[in-house]
Amino acid sequence: MTVRQPLPPDLFEELCPSSLVPFRFGDKWSALVIRCLEDGPRRFSELRVPLPRVTPKVLTQTLRGLERSGLVSRTAHADPASGVEYALTPLGRSLLEPMQVVYGWVAEHWEELLDAQERYDAPPLRSPA
Amino acid sequence: MTVRQPLPPDLFEELCPSSLVPFRFGDKWSALVIRCLEDGPRRFSELRVPLPRVTPKVLTQTLRGLERSGLVSRTAHADPASGVEYALTPLGRSLLEPMQVVYGWVAEHWEELLDAQERYDAPPLRSPA
DNA sequence: CAGAATCCTAAAAGATACTG
DNA sequence: CAGTATCTTTTAGGATTCTG
C-alpha cells in the first residue's frame, strides 16, 4: 500500500507564522521537516508538498543539516522508482517529545503572545485627558 | 543585599556552540538572555557580563524582542542608581520548563550529536583495500 | 525524480562611535 | 548607566535555471 498519512498543503501557514513565535528551531524549516517525517519515511518530492514555500535548494540544505546532526537518514534505494527516502533516525525520533513540549507551550500561550505583541506595537497613548 | 547569583563569564561558550546545536530559539541570543534572568531581575550592564559577545545594540534588540513577546519586562526605576531592570514575566517564566526539556535533550544526546557530525564531515573513505 | 549551480535579496549580527 | 546611530559584514533564504 502506498497509503500513508496525507500531508497538509502548507504546514508553515498552519503552524508557524514565525513572525509571531519568538523561537523556532535554529533555522526556518528544520522543525517543520522533522514533523513531516513523524509518520514515517518520505521522499523528497513528498516533502515538497506540505512545504510549498521551500525551494528545492533550501529543502536540500535543511535535510543535509538534519542528516549532519544525525536526526535524519537519507537512503537512495536500488530501485530507481522508489526515489530517495528520508526518515527520522532514532535520535531524531527522540527529539519529537521535547519538540512537542515546546509546541504545546506555544499552543497554550498563543493568545498571550498575540496580546503582548499588540500591546507593545500599539501607539503609546498618554493621559487620555 | 546586592548579592545575587553570579553570572558566568561567557554563557554562549559554555552552553551553545550553536554551530553544533541544530536549533536555537529563534534568534541567536534570546534563549540565553532568558536563562540569565532565571534567578531574578538583572540590569542591562549585568546582562552584558555573561554575554560578552553581544554588543549593546544587539542586546537591546534582543531584549526589545522579548519584551514585545511579553516574556520579559523592563522597568526603569525612579532611583537613577538602580538603573533599568529586566525580569521574566510570568509568561516568560512559564517558558523555562519547556526550554529545560529541550536543553535536557541536548545534554543527554550531546555525544551522539557530536559523533554524527564528525562522521558526516569525515572524508568519505571508500573500500579501505 | 532529486537534486546542483548560480545569482540575488533581505535580514541578522557585529564593529565602532557617540549621547541623554 | 543604558542605551542610540551608523556602517559594514555575514548568513540565511529565495528565484531561477539546469542536470545526472
Domains of chain B: 17-121 (1.10.10.10)
Distance of CA A111 to the CA centre of its chain: 21
Measure, in angstroms, how far nucleotide C17 C1' is from residue B56 CA. 12
Does A28 score more than 70 pLDDT? yes
The whole-angstrom distance between A26's CA and the closest CA on chain B is: 4
Model confidence pLDDT, tens digit, residues A34-62: 988 999 999 999 888 888 888 999 999 99
pTM above 0.85, yes or no: no
Banded model confidence at residue A22, pLDDT cuts 50, 70, 90: low
Q: What is the mean pLDDT of residues B68-81?
A: 88
Cα separation, A86 vs A37, in Å, equals 8
Give the model's pLDDT for residue A129.
Answer: 44
* Residues sharing a CB contact under 8 Å with residue B62, sequence separation 6 or more, in sequence order: B27, B29, B30, B33, B54
Mean pLDDT value of segment A109-124: 84
What DSSP character marks residue B25?
A: B
What is the predicted pLDDT for the residue at A84? Answer: 93
Identify the DSSP state of B49: T
Question: Which of A8-22, B4-18, B86-100 is the most confident on average?
Answer: B86-100
- What confidence category does residue B27 fall into, taking pLDDT thresholds of 50, 70 and 90? confident
Q: Please report the pLDDT score of residue A23 as a whole number.
A: 60
Task: Report the b/e string of B31-42 with b at 16+ CB within 10 A.
Answer: bbbbbbbeeebb
The confidence score (pLDDT) of residue A17 equals 44
Give the span between the Cα atoms of B26 and B3, in whole angstroms.
32
A61 touches strand D (CB under 7 A): yes
Three-state SS at A37 = coil
Q: What is the pLDDT of residue A16?
A: 46
- Here the cell at position B122 is 569525515
- Whether residue B84 contacts residue B43, with contact meaning beta carbons closer than 8 Å, is answered with yes
CA–CA distance, B73 with A69 (Å, rounded to integer): 35
> Which residues 33-62 on chain B approach chain A with CB closer than 8 angstroms?
none
Nucleotides of chain C in contact with protein CB (under 7 A) are: 1-6, 12-17
